[in-house]
Amino acid sequence: MNGINRLDIKQLRVLHALLDLKNLSQVARKMGLTQQAISEQLRKLRDLFDDRLFIRQGNSMVATPKALSMQQPISRILEQLEALLEPDVFSPQTYKGVFTISATDYATQALLPQLFHITRRDAPDLKLIVRDFASDNINQLIAAGELDLLITFPEFIPDNLAYVTLLEEQHFCITGCNNSFTTEPLSLAQIAAHSQLVVSPSRANLRGSHDQWFAEKGLKRNIVMSVPSFSAVPDILYTTDMIAFYPSRLLPNSRVKELKVEALPPTFKVIAAWHPRTSHSGIHRWLIEQLQQLSKSD
């Protein structure tokens, strides 16, 4: 180990250049050093390997058998060291692995089908697992590596995670396609008073994401039904007289129609989040790029 500790990369580069050029001044110019500096490195190499390594013959340096025996090993070592510094080039076509995504019900319908079309085409050996989004133990699962990527809303993720905003979404007010409503824009008071269906994926209750918005306007919503999934909403509205607020990216749907209203609730952001330790992971970056492109396409 004592010999290894005395050897550095610069000395290997000097030895490699001398074996190639066999001239001290040419090596000095190539490496941007003085001839004296090259001579000093050669002195250290001779001491380290206990061999003269090069013998001056006119203007050239003739390698000893010891030096010649090291030429190929040194070339391989320097090539391997340079490879360590080269940036990883990620290729989805050759990637093999399992990736776990935790996604909200909304994301599962609005983004994942298009994403999976891309992954099956461009990354055929990538295996994907989708889990329901549960905010209660996100930190534990993603820190343990049981989750790779989250597709959700900003308020549902811990502060220590990295994330990028994919899109801003808007809820429209909808009802069953056969229901009769005035063609005039509905007032917020009319909407609040009408029987409403809400989607509550994580907690079974009669509360909706826009309750506070209505409350700030002095209105209380008449929520009469709650379901855990957006996918159930069109079929339920089709067979009832209820209304609901529904994400625009899940429309159009043949079973429902959009209602004209005097105002729409605030938009909301959809994000992709991950643990900071995977920020330079090729597969993470590639999948996030695909999600960003999909989000811009609509």
Residue whose token pair is 């989250």: 150
CB 219 within 8 A of CB 189: yes
CB 146 within 8 A of CB 100: yes
Using an 8 Å Cβ cutoff, are 251 and 258 in contact?
yes
Closest CA to 26 of 44, 9, 38: 38
**pLDDT at res. 82:** 81
Q: For the chain (length 298 residues), average pLDDT per consecutive 10?
A: 72 91 90 91 92 89 92 90 76 95 94 97 96 83 91 91 96 96 92 96 85 96 95 97 97 97 96 93 95 86
Look at residue 1 in the predicted model and tell me its pLDDT.
Answer: 44
pLDDT at 166: 97
Burial class (CB in 10 A: 0-12, 13-18, 19+), 44: middle
Question: Tell me, what's the pLDDT at 87?
Answer: 66
- Note the pLDDT of residue 86: 66
pLDDT for 216 equals: 96
Q: How far is CA 164 from the centre of its chain?
A: 8
